[in-house]
Amino acid sequence: MGVVGYRCPVSGEAITTAIRTSKETLARMRTCGLTIWVWCPHCLAGHKIKPGEARLEGEAMENEAAEAELETAVGHPLLASA
């Protein structure tokens, strides 16, 4: 489990959210096209981020190949929990 982080699109500052999840769940979220609404303490505004823009603190995805490899290992997000 890790904490989801992202970069503020206005200031470029790193933000840590209060969202805790696993890298497998974050990978599933990326395949579903979900949107996460988060509050930014730097520009004092809400941001809409895609899970592909998010990372787990200390476990950032290095590149798209690593993300694709993880998604393949997890399987289809709707079938993985069945």
pLDDT tens per residue, the chain (82 residues)?
899 999 999 999 999 998 999 989 988 888 887 888 999 999 999 999 988 899 998 665 444 444 555 455 555 444 444 4
What does pTM read for this prediction?
0.61
Both tokens of residue 68?
Answer: 């694709």
Q: What is the pLDDT of residue 10?
A: 92
- The reported pLDDT for the residue numbered 8 is 93
Handedness of CA 45, 38, 16, 52 (dihedral sign): negative
pLDDT value at residue 79 = 45
pLDDT of residue 74: 52
The pLDDT value given to residue 65: 42
